Amino acid sequence: MSNIIAIALNKLDADPKNVRKTYTKESIESLSASILANGVIQNLVVRKASKGRYLVTAGGRRLAALNLLAERGEITADYAVNVIVREAGDATELSLTENVMREAMHPADQFEAFRALFNEGKSIKDIAARFGTTEIIVNRRLALAKVSPVLFAAFRAEDMTFEQLAAFTITDDHARQEEVWNALPSWDRSANTIKRRLAVDEVPASDKRLALIGGLEVYEAAGGPVRRDLFAEQGGGFACDSGLLEKLVAEKLEVEAEAVKAEGWKWVEWCAQQPDNIYQMARVYPQRVDLSDEDQAKLDALTERYDELAAQIDADQEDEGAEAALSAVEQEIAVLQKREEAYRSEDLAMAGAIVTIDHWRKLSVLRGLVRDEDKKKAEATEGKQGGATEEADGASKSTGLTHSAALIEDLTAQKTAALRVELANNPDIALVAVVHAILLKVQYRTAWGIPGHQSALEISVTHEVLDGSMKRPAENKALEAWGSLEENYGHRLPGDPADLWEWLMDQSQSELLQLLAYAAAHSVNAVEKKFSSRSQALAHADQMGRALNVDMHDWFETTAESYFSHVNRPTIQAVVAEVRGEDFAAGVGNMKKGEAAEYAAKSIKDSGWLPPHVRIASDPDAEGEAETSEDKNEHSFPMAAE
């Protein structure tokens, strides 16, 4: 038997037999707001305890919310709560039944309910307060409820994900929403794709041009119309007037270009998109110059101050302004260090600069670029000067020493033999020499006269550009990490390759080994191309991967986009069968290609399965090592692309 009675809040306690023990702070906050606005809609279930008290068997979250309101003084301590009294023997079963058998409200019903409240005249602020949520959450739910009824029905029927439904909220045009959804293939209906199609002529907030001018807010302040994306991070949306955006970008780049022209370059250009041939152009670099006595003394003092502040911070002994002071000292040091390098007047007269936006969406100035025609003119001039010098040298030699070409070859061969022996017996200098030779080839490959001519070591290094071999290079984690490495080393190494040897001689052995690893990494090539005959090299790549303990799961995820959309249905079916079994894979053969790819991606998610050619193969010569399931299955199904 059970009956409904009213009991004072201060006589209710949590029941140890309540199976649900944990509630989030946010959940209690939102429920307390709802109770304050509407009261306790669902009765609590209690059982009698001693001394006239009651234990709450079902309704622990409601009790916590009521207690929170009482603590805040928004309800009294003896607030009357309607409860259903049940026998103690039923407590655990009742609590379990309430928590297990209850079905959460479908999100679609929730969105429509919020819209109904709004249509009844309740403000967004009032709705947010009543349900203990934020106004942005209410706005999002109202936007979701306004999506095309056709698409909303697809979401309700679970034919569309929440992320896909949210993507359609950037426009209220139902016809356009349905047109985009129906035009997209089933395997390419991601939220980002939907947004791109809906805003095909608009510019997303993440675009580097918007970042350059200061974001959507700056563009909007200039009179540009904006389409907001409620589900994006703060500041998300689209710029609708690309013409105005281009004008604002041009103005910013032109201002910087004018400042660069004042440096004396032969030519200066600006462009929002970095030219593709930028790294094929020859380049000149600034030369080191001595600081004035005054600047050198100032730099020494700043360096000493920097070391003091850094030591305080490292020892946790800094005062409140130490971080800011360190930053200010860094900026002053950077200004003085810039004065330690300067371009020669003849280089300024021959070369130019390009003002553009870099990969990190920052304004970038690429100085010292030499056009082909200017390079040829300079080489022709140098050739004439070299001929005149040779004539002068010949005249002087005719009155001194004269050597035949055969004798010169003989003498220099003997010199080379001596250098080889001495270098072989000096590993420290050998390390510098090898690092120097390889860096010239890989780090200074765009410099004029490089690679090759500034090192006596005939070390050949080939650097395979990988972007062209990948279907989605922009989404590859390893290429992104490599770009960061190149950027970091680019800042550390001297700008002029002629200074590299002296700089390397000043580095520690550990630093040289790190540079050697970076330089050598350029030459790694495990790309297997059509009709490749590099089987031994590919085997060595796996051997190296095992030595490095490479886990390819850190760098590659098997998805529809990265793998399954590029192989045929028999391959897709074989992979699913390998991971989930033959029965689970049986229906793949009857699916459309896109559907099969999506189905396979979901089926193997979190299984750790990787395509054979991306794996690091196990050691075939390891004694006693059992053949792994991956090795057994590597060639058990057709791998032909469709």
DSSP summary character for residue 456: S
Q: What whole-number distance in Å separates Cα of residue 273 and Cα of residue 252? A: 14
| 480 and 419 together in one domain | yes
Q: What whole-number distance in Å separates Cα of residue 210 and Cα of residue 244? A: 11
Among 463, 490, 521, give the residue marking a domain's end: 521
| 360 and 460 together in one domain | no
The CATH number of the domain where 72 resides is what? 3.90.1530.10
Q: What whole-number distance in Å separates Cα of residue 200 and Cα of residue 473? A: 22
| 551 and 601 together in one domain | yes
Judge whether 218 lies within some domain. Answer: no
Structurally, the chain folds into a number of domains equal to: 4
Identify the pLDDT of residue 99. Answer: 56
Identify the pLDDT of residue 541. Answer: 74
Q: List strands edge to edge, sheet with 226-228.
A: 203-204, 237-239, 226-228
Q: How far is CA 310 from the centre of its chain?
A: 30
Judge whether 249 lies within some domain. Answer: no
Can you state the angle between helices 405-424 and 427-442, rounded to 10 degrees?
120
Judge whether 195 lies within some domain. Answer: no
Q: Output the CA–CA distances (angstroms, integers) from residue 599 to 99, 565, 612, in the order listed.
A: 32, 11, 20
| 345 and 454 together in one domain | no
Strands 226-228 and 237-239: antiparallel
Q: What whole-number distance in Å separates Cα of residue 593 and Cα of residue 570? A: 10
Q: Tell the residue number behind the tokens 């035009």, with chain if given.
A: 183
Residue 180, judged by CB atoms within 10 A of its CB (0-12, 13-18, 19+), counts as buried
Judge whether 473 lies within some domain. Answer: yes
| 419 and 511 together in one domain | yes
| 274 and 356 together in one domain | yes
Whether the Cβ atoms of residue 565 and residue 572 lie closer than 8 Å to each other:
no
| 512 and 543 together in one domain | no
pTM: 0.47
Q: What whole-number distance in Å separates Cα of residue 495 and Cα of residue 503? A: 11
| 366 and 259 together in one domain | yes
Q: Which domain holds residue 56?
A: 3-101
Among 59, 76, 101, give the residue marking a domain's end: 101
| 437 and 513 together in one domain | yes
Judge whether 283 lies within some domain. Answer: yes
Q: Nearest 5°: CA angle at 515, between 509 and 520?
A: 125
Query: HEC states along 83-141?
Result: EEECCHHHHHHHHHHHHHHCCCCCHHHHHHHHHHHHHCCCCHHHHHHHCCCCHHHHHHH
Whether the Cβ atoms of residue 500 and residue 440 lie closer than 8 Å to each other:
yes
Identify the pLDDT of residue 446. Answer: 53
| 502 and 572 together in one domain | no
Whether the Cβ atoms of residue 32 and residue 132 lie closer than 8 Å to each other:
yes
Averaged over successive runs of 10 residues, the pLDDT of the chain (642 residues) comes to: 80 83 80 84 86 88 91 91 80 60 67 85 84 81 91 90 91 91 86 87 88 92 89 78 92 95 95 78 85 90 87 72 85 86 90 88 89 85 57 42 62 66 68 77 60 63 73 78 76 78 86 82 74 68 77 85 85 89 84 88 88 80 46 38 38
Whether the Cβ atoms of residue 423 and residue 430 lie closer than 8 Å to each other:
yes
Identify the pLDDT of residue 510. Answer: 84
Q: 3-state DSSP: the chain helix, strand, coil percent, rounded to 5? A: 55, 10, 35
33: CB partners within 8 A, 6+ apart: 129, 130, 131, 132, 133
Residue 515, judged by CB atoms within 10 A of its CB (0-12, 13-18, 19+), counts as buried
Q: Tell the residue number behind the tokens 């040779």, with chain if given.
A: 390
| 554 and 474 together in one domain | no
Q: What whole-number distance in Å separates Cα of residue 139 and Cα of residue 330? A: 45
Tell me the backbone φ, ψ of residue 106, rounded to 5 degrees.
-65, 135
418: CB partners within 8 A, 6+ apart: none
Whether the Cβ atoms of residue 567 and residue 601 lie closer than 8 Å to each other:
no
Q: The tokens of 532 are what?
A: 């490749």
Cα dihedral sign, 371-373-374-375: positive
Residue 512: helix, strand or coil by DSSP?
Answer: helix
12 forms bridges with which residues in the sheet?
A: 54
- Residue 14, sorted as left (phi over 0), alpha (psi -120 to 50) or beta, turns out to be beta
| 428 and 504 together in one domain | yes
Judge whether 573 lies within some domain. Answer: yes
Judge whether 467 lies within some domain. Answer: yes
Q: Output the CA–CA distances (angstroms, integers) from residue 557 to 275, 601, 610, 611, in the order listed.
A: 32, 10, 8, 10
Q: The tokens of 84 are what?
A: 């259903």
Whether the Cβ atoms of residue 239 and residue 170 lie closer than 8 Å to each other:
no
Among 101, 133, 160, give the residue marking a domain's end: 101
Judge whether 191 lies within some domain. Answer: no
Q: What whole-number distance in Å separates Cα of residue 23 and Cα of residue 3? A: 28
